[in-house]
A and B are shown apart, each in its own frame.
Chain A
Amino acid sequence: MSDGQVFYEDVQTGDSLPALAVTVDERQLFFFSAATYNGHRIHYDKDWARDVEGYDNVIVQGPLQAALLARAITDWIGGRGRLVEYAVQNRAIAFAGEELTFTGVVTGKRLADDTGLVDLDITGRRGDTVLMPGTATVALPRRENRS
């Protein structure tokens, strides 16, 4: 994950981030709800999810999808990269047990006050269905500044 630091100069528009594939199970839903103080029943109470809110199963927290998508970015940018801006939308729900894929593609790069900024389109998907589209900006180290 962090052994191969990516540098600003190495990145080109159109480059893809390594995809992160995750199948969230009910244990992970539970621990994420616990870690975020989220008592919403739709993440652990199947009867409530189905009978009251109309879902077929317990659903993956939107913030967990967002955290997984951010993880795909922070894994890629390495220890000297920095997440500067992060924006996502919850477009569709995901159920426990479904394989989700978190990806990103470089849409541009620019220097701002000598900082190398890289813009990304990021997406959480289930198959062809986009669950969570978004954008992010990261700061990457520059090769000439390497100490």
Chain B
Amino acid sequence: MSEQSLIDAESASRVGTVAATATGEVNRRDWQRWATAVDDHNPLWFDTEYARAQGYRDIICPPLFLQYAVLGVTTLDGLRPDGSSGAVSGSLAFPRAPRRMAGGESTQFFGPAYHRDEIEMVRTIKSIVEKQGRSGRFVLVTWQTVYRNQRDELVAAATTSMIARP
């Protein structure tokens, strides 16, 4: 007797396809709010004179903030019951594994992003697999994401994952 897969056919069919594309402007107030929430007061994110003394043309966006510069908006009615927007996952949903948490991320950073840089993100679904963990079955979803700026320079490339559990 085989257990029913946690992965529905519709989700499985999306492996290899583009899950999401987004563009957004890097904004220093937004990254400074993020850095302050992390209690990260690195002067590279805040102090132009300091950043210039280190060889940058201005303050730079914290590398880990870049992923948020392209986030869109979701209406309140469009939120999932758990309050999440689906913006990050490209609206993949697993009815048989509704509890979600971030799995991990691996990112290469190729150069700095500055205030008002225009970033284009393209995210592809790399894999969706069911796994058995200590606390039971779960779905591991992996995306590949590239970030380019307005000069078509590769700024960052990331592999991210999400865990969905019954």
Q: Which residues of A contact B (CB under 8 A)?
A: 1-2, 22, 28, 31-32, 34-42, 45, 48, 52-53, 61-64, 66-68, 70-71, 74-75, 79-80, 82-90, 93, 134
Contact = CB atoms under 8 A, between A and B. Distances in A.
Contact of A42 (B41, B42, B82): B82
Interface stretch (B28-36, B120-128, B143-151): B28-36
A41 B99 CA distance: 11
A74 B39 CA distance: 13
B142 to A, nearest CB: 12
Interface string B88-104: 00000000000111111
B104 A35 contact: no
A67 B82 contact: no
Contacts of B38: 32, 64, 67-68, 71
19 contacts: A1-B41, A2-B43, A34-B33, A34-B37, A35-B30, A40-B83, A40-B100, A41-B83, A53-B99, A67-B34, A67-B38, A67-B40, A67-B62, A71-B40, A74-B42, A79-B43, A85-B106, A89-B104, A93-B101
Contacts of B73: 37
A39 B64 contact: no
Nearest to A38: B84
Given A75-B42, A79-B53, A36 B82 contact: no
Nearest to B36: A31
Given A28-B39, A39-B83, A70 B64 contact: yes
| Chain B contact residues, majority secondary structure | mixed
A74 to B, nearest CB: 6
A31 B33 CA distance: 8
A52 B42 contact: no
B17 interface: no
Nearest to A139: B109
A105 B53 CA distance: 28
B12 interface: no
Contacts of B51: 79
Contacts of A32: 34, 37-38
B34 A86 contact: no
A36 B63 contact: no
Given A2-B42, A86-B106, A66 B37 contact: no
A74 B40 contact: yes
A90 B102 contact: yes
B84 A88 contact: no
